[in-house]
Amino acid sequence: MQVFFENRSFWSGSVNLFDGKIEEVHSYQEAQAADFHHSLYFSEPQIEKMSTGECSFFWIDRDGTIEGMWRDHINDQIIKRIAEQITIQKKTQKDRRDTLPANIYILSACDAWAGTNSMRILGVTTDETMVYAMIAAKIKAEDMEYGGYGGEEAWCCLQKDVKNGEVNFDKLKYGFVQTYEDMQITEPISLVAFPEAATAYEELSGVKAKAEIEKLGLDSRTLIYSMVEVRTDFGYTCFLMPGICDRDNLESNDHFQEFMEDTTDSDVNTSVYTYSVGRGESEYPDEDELTIIEQYTEELDEEYGVDPIQSDFISFYYEAEQEY
């Protein structure tokens, strides 16, 4: 859910207690940057008006409820006036989007406080997934943060929110998204070149996952593989192997040999979990297919169901071969 005042997404604001007009609004990220002390991110004139009782602070709760710090000041009449000036945009199901007017999304780079003077437009699109992809590209480039995180953690947080339909632009830092409604826009065209968003778009939309999974041919065959967790006196590793893992093919596996390369001797304790996925005759996947399985396990489970076959534990003492 997003709330707008004069086409600007916001979380908190200042309302005049005499006429009920909203005088100033700010995003969640601005409030978060100021540790939610409204005296640190509202303008000085508004702080003065709040201190004299001419204006009062308010915010919008997750369910769209208008809340005030001092409800004896913000009475039901003021609440009603605030509601008349704002627009609440709730998430809609994907299968209803075709019946709704297109939104125009404008992504801008900005400072940590989303200051107007720092805004620089990066991309404009009517495709909701594309604006997520543009944000993702900037997160991966470490130019933006999301959900209080940077780098890989921010990317994972955004992916999770996209999948759950819970993306909140107010969680974006060093970036700002403006949303406008336009009945005449029908094509999801990006108006500013943003080539680095292409890969992120494929990942977020599921196009890339679908294309990679199709390479496995799981409608006509079943792949058997094992997830192997190896623990030694010196470390831990986890990787996939074709088929059912035993000690012999574990020790001959390239991943295992690389992991043990600098080890002279050690106890080796290995947990093995064997799975099957697909429909048809059983086969063992090759290395490229194992890479696809590892990267898209969740999508495979949703599409075909990943079934556990067995689990095992392998323990032995490893001694490196001596060269003479």
Strand, coil or helix: what is 75?
Answer: coil
Q: Give the Cα separation of 40 and 252 in Å (integer).
A: 62
Residue 184, classified by CB atoms within 10 Å of its CB into exposed (0-12), middle (13-18) or buried (19+), is: exposed
Percent of all residues in the chain with a pLDDT value above 70, rounded to a whole number: 85
User: Which pLDDT score is estimated for 196?
Assistant: 66
Highest-scoring range by mean pLDDT, 2-11, 37-46, 88-97, 223-232? 223-232
User: Which pLDDT score is estimated for 250?
Assistant: 94
| pLDDT at 83 > cutoff 80 | yes
pTM: 0.48
User: Which pLDDT score is estimated for 188?
Assistant: 45
> pLDDT tens digit string along 271-284?
999 999 999 899 99
Segment 242-267 shows an average pLDDT of: 91
| pLDDT at 244 > cutoff 70 | yes
Q: Which of 154, 104, 150, 161 is nearest to 130 (CA)?
A: 104
Q: Quick one: tokens of 297?
A: 């396990």
Q: Give the Cα separation of 174 and 69 in Å (integer).
A: 28
Q: How confident is the model at residue 69 (pLDDT cuts 50, 70, 90)?
A: low
Backbone angles phi, psi at 223, to 5 degrees: -100, 135
Share the mean pLDDT of the chain.
84
| pLDDT at 7 > cutoff 60 | yes
Q: Give the Cα separation of 167 and 147 in Å (integer).
A: 10
Element housing 78 (H / E): helix 76-85
Q: Quick one: tokens of 281?
A: 């005759």
Q: Are 55 and 23 in contact (CB under 8 A)?
A: yes
> pLDDT tens digit string along 176-196?
998 876 544 344 444 344 566
